[in-house]
Amino acid sequence: MDVRRISRRDALVQTGGTLAAIAFFQSPLFAWARPGETNVPFLDQPPAPPPPLAGLNQLDWEAQTPDSWITPNDKFFRVGHYGVPEVDAAKWKLEIAGLVANPRSYDLAAIKALPKKELVSTLECSGNHGFPFLPGAIGNARWGGTPLAGVLQKAGRKPAGVEVVFYGADQGEEPIQYIGGLGDKMGEFKAKAPFARSMSWAEATDPANLLVYEMNGKPLPAPNGAPLRLIAPRWFGISNVKWLTRIDVIDSRFEGPFQAQRYLTVRESRRDDGSTVWTRTAVGKCLLKSVPAKVTVQDGKYRIYGAAWGAPIARVEVKVDEGPWKTAVIDKGAEYEFAWKFWHVDWPSPATGEHKITSRAIDKAGNVQPSQDDPSIASKRTYWEANGQVTRMIRIA
Ligand SMILES: Nc1nc2c(c(=O)[nH]1)N[C@H]1C(S)=C(S)[C@@H](COP(=O)(O)O)O[C@H]1N2
Ligand SMILES: [Mo]
């Protein structure tokens, strides 16, 4: 994939080909909250993702109903950079190793014997909305497992241990550039290593983090990380390591390819003196975000539905075209810290013709989801962490 931010205008140009197809687009009839309401499909339907992402199983926003506040396991998106590894749960072990006082290995029965906790939380890929073809790399599930903090505290940190590395069973080759001893040998070789991500000890022992073996009351499915995965609800998808085999405590920052190379956000940032510098930061914690999910009509009365997540949500606002922001009603999820909120706002009497619908979330600290021309979004040259306001196009007949 091309490391380049695609602007909304580009996105609309790229989806232009699908506009003509909309006439043939048969919208299924879904009721979110009002009996008998029907969907008015958005004009800007996402294009098909490139073939390597075909198995992503993206969320279909316009098919969401009140029941889909929990995303069913078979509708949950799936990302695996090295495919789905074959893991024999009967032979599987989780090693807790490195700079710990009590290294040990757990089989699945030993993990399940630890205190059980359930958590409803939303998982979003940091690439979601980074491309026109990627609006549905998100889902919300009830995860069941045991707190990671308990396992780490049992292991006990040695004083030098500062970083906790999570390894998956999936492996792949990644390029490494090197310069030989005297600087005269330069080149690149490929190194095979398992998928890995890390957090600091303090971040890893956050009581919210779970080692998960259940998803929506069923055994964790293989594509989502069976037999055991990390769910770190404050973090983008990439940190939620699947098919866990080993947790290593080390004495320095971890710079694996998914930490320090492939998941970087690059911005062209302006300093106070007007000069420009390029900054590179690792994709990390979730960001405040919302989307308009669908528009329905019932007896000529229109309603806009959507979702918000990524931070403690105080409020969601919606605007039509360049009109005023209108506060939405939060319908579902308000009492859950890490689960998305489902919201709606009535749109009583839209004029016929094309309209733009935009939503923005406001968190409890007063932060506002940035607009597409906010410097934090506009200066971004990579597709990750695309939490800018989402605008959808619609035609009212
Ligand atoms: N071992 C492993 N864990 C992984 C990945 C991976 O490729 N390998 N992909 C990550 C990414 S980028 C995302 S978005 C989430 C997706 O989780 P899901 O497949 O359950 O939706 O898993 C994360 N954990
Ligand atoms: Mo991801």
**Mean pLDDT confidence for 181-194:** 78
Residue 182 pLDDT greater than 90, yes or no: no
- pLDDT at position 290: 98
- pLDDT at position 181: 61
Residue 98 pLDDT greater than 60, yes or no: yes
Distance in Å, CA 189 to ligand 1 centroid: 25
Tokens 């605008």 sit on residue:
391
- pLDDT at position 30: 36
| Ligand 1 proximity of 130 Cβ (cutoff 6 Å) | no
- pLDDT at position 20: 30
| Ligand 1 proximity of 108 Cβ (cutoff 6 Å) | no
CA-wise closest residue to 303 among 275, 328, 284: 328
Residue 59 pLDDT greater than 70, yes or no: yes
Residues in the chain: 397
What the chain holds in terms of domains, given with CATH numbers, is: 6-65+283-396 (2.60.40.650), 74-254 (3.90.420.10)
- pLDDT at position 184: 62
| Ligand 1 proximity of 256 Cβ (cutoff 6 Å) | no
Closest atom of ligand 1 relative to the 244 alpha carbon? 1
Ligand 1, atom 5, lies closest to the CA of 80
Ligand 1, atom 18, lies closest to the CA of 78
Residue 72 pLDDT greater than 80, yes or no: yes
Q: Is the pTM of this model over 0.85?
A: yes
Residue 21 pLDDT greater than 70, yes or no: no
Distance in Å, CA 123 to ligand 2 centroid: 9
Model confidence over 222-270: pLDDT tens digits?
999 999 999 999 999 999 999 999 999 999 999 999 999 999 999 998 8
**Mean pLDDT confidence for 131-142:** 97
| Ligand 1 proximity of 238 Cβ (cutoff 6 Å) | yes
Model confidence over 280-316: pLDDT tens digits?
999 999 999 999 999 999 999 999 999 999 999 999 9
- pLDDT at position 187: 78
